Chain A
């Protein structure tokens, strides 16, 4: 099993969700996060006082899938979240040891 963390632009969440639904991904966990990379922050000016906003709001999506599915999921997320501009985000892939469904106790791929 692989866990895929994708940090994307907030307004791209619906596109990514639909793209994953198309290839049969049944669930995901979403978190509102803040951060910066190459995009850096932006400037806001209030009555002449300039403030740099370093941490930009992003969405983090976490999905766990079968290992052989992972490359396809990553590609789908990348396509759906891409605007071609700085700040589109990053995708990280990790190995997952075990998954357990709380209600039934099923484990492994059955729990996904």
Chain B
């Protein structure tokens, strides 16, 4: 996706007079990007809904699915109304895109972004906005008011996601500085992970947290969700090349390798520490490996992917099983522990392991370019700071609009499926 940075400046020209586009439409690239977009779309209402739904308690499963679905729907609408323009409109000082493309104004069937139709490009980007905000909800399931979640989603996609996407990919300062984020280590995972942490701290712990047993409703659903995420992630990472070429193939390779190694290392750590290899551990390790390879997918070679996946599995396990307990926050489904922590690792690892044999212009510390690690660190800190402070402000705003963020204590104990939606996920109840 770095290539996009160089196109960004010319977008106005390209869309205004598509006939003058230097590269012209490439049907192969276009076909691959349409498929990639559909793959990434599936990650939210199928992959993430099942992954998160299976981990939430039986009485909150449907609420988790509902929050995921509504996040995707809202992001879809916001994106085509104003989100795309804020992220990919002509840059205003490198901070945010202008409103030139409000309601996709000026973009038509003939418009091109690089070698693919702008419609396809903006839809691909839309699926990223959808999954990023949906990732946040992993931190707060079991207790947030549905109305508050809806208001928060609208505000967050608009005020946090769109500008950060602009910084990295839309011609903003982070891309200009040379920060490497191939498919969303900072924009997607650190951004969502930190927002989740802030939201969970403001909302407070679930009733009974640390005292009551909080069993996942179905590890089988979570495993199926992880498999769908893995499948969709090929579109996420290999699609971020915006072309059907060798680098897309390389991104595909390192993505699968890192996921597999992440699963094995998480399972191994768990086996040693807790004496049992769990399916939840395998599923979590897959996602940890995928998260960590995301920023690096277009820059590292196979050995890099092995290292990134190995560390991601261990770091993810440490974050959720040890760090969370030590610090005492209730990040229900570990959006911060998995996405935040492994996203940070992936962004740093890109600065260490970027290999010029993969992407000629970009090298990391181990390939003679120590400055890259510093640039990556700045991009991590800036994203975390903006996401953290911005989310805090939006949470307060949301609370003012919806008159509170949390469901009542009774509704929480009954379960959000019944109290918020009047439905049940299963026709059984566990004691």
Which chain A residues border B325 with CB–CB below 8 Å? 48
Asked if A14 CB lies within 8 Å of chain B CBs, one says no
Interface residues on B, range: 10 to 19
User: In the bound complex, what is the Cα–Cα distance between A60 and B306 (angstroms)?
Assistant: 52
Asked if B278 CB lies within 8 Å of chain A CBs, one says yes
Which chain A residues border B214 with CB–CB below 8 Å? 49, 51
User: In the bound complex, what is the Cα–Cα distance between A51 and B280 (angstroms)?
Assistant: 15
A52 near B280 with CB under 8 A, answer no
User: Which listed residue (A34, A46, A53, A55) contacts B280, Cβ 8 A?
Assistant: A46
A46 near B215 with CB under 8 A, answer yes
Asked if A102 CB lies within 8 Å of chain B CBs, one says no
Closest chain A residue, CB of each to CB of B338: A47
User: In the bound complex, what is the Cα–Cα distance between A38 and B213 (angstroms)?
Assistant: 21
User: In the bound complex, what is the Cα–Cα distance between A61 and B321 (angstroms)?
Assistant: 41
User: In the bound complex, what is the Cα–Cα distance between A71 and B281 (angstroms)?
Assistant: 50
A46 near B324 with CB under 8 A, answer no
Which chain A residues border B3 with CB–CB below 8 Å? none
Q: Which of A18-65 contact B (CB under 8 A)?
A: 34, 44-49, 51-53, 55
B274 near A47 with CB under 8 A, answer no
A46 near B322 with CB under 8 A, answer no
A48 near B213 with CB under 8 A, answer no
B-side interface mostly: helix
User: In the bound complex, what is the Cα–Cα distance between A83 and B376 (angstroms)?
Assistant: 61
Q: Which of A44, A45, A47 has the most CB of B within 10 A?
A: A47
With contact pairs A34-B431, A55-B431 given, residues A48 and B321 touching in the complex (Cβ less than 8 Å): yes
A-side interface mostly: strand
Which chain A residues border B409 with CB–CB below 8 Å? none
A46 near B278 with CB under 8 A, answer yes
B196 vs chain A, min Cβ distance (A):
15
With contact pairs A34-B431, A45-B278, A47-B320 given, residues A52 and B213 touching in the complex (Cβ less than 8 Å): yes
A-contact 0/1 string along B180-220, CB 8 Å cutoff:
00000000000000000000000000000000011110000
User: Which listed residue (B216, B317, B431) contacts A46, Cβ 8 A?
Assistant: B216
A47 near B215 with CB under 8 A, answer no
User: In the bound complex, what is the Cα–Cα distance between A45 and B277 (angstroms)?
Assistant: 10
A10 vs chain B, min Cβ distance (A):
16
A-contact 0/1 string along B325-368, CB 8 Å cutoff:
10000000010000000000000000000000000000000000
Q: Can you give 16 contacting A-B residue pairs, CB < 8 Å?
A: A34-B431, A44-B215, A45-B276, A46-B216, A46-B278, A46-B280, A47-B280, A47-B320, A47-B321, A48-B317, A48-B320, A48-B321, A48-B324, A48-B325, A49-B321, A55-B431
Known: A47-B284, A47-B334, A55-B431. 19 other contacts (CB 8 A): A34-B431, A44-B213, A44-B215, A45-B276, A46-B215, A46-B280, A47-B280, A48-B274, A48-B317, A48-B320, A48-B321, A48-B324, A48-B325, A49-B214, A49-B321, A51-B213, A51-B214, A51-B215, A53-B213
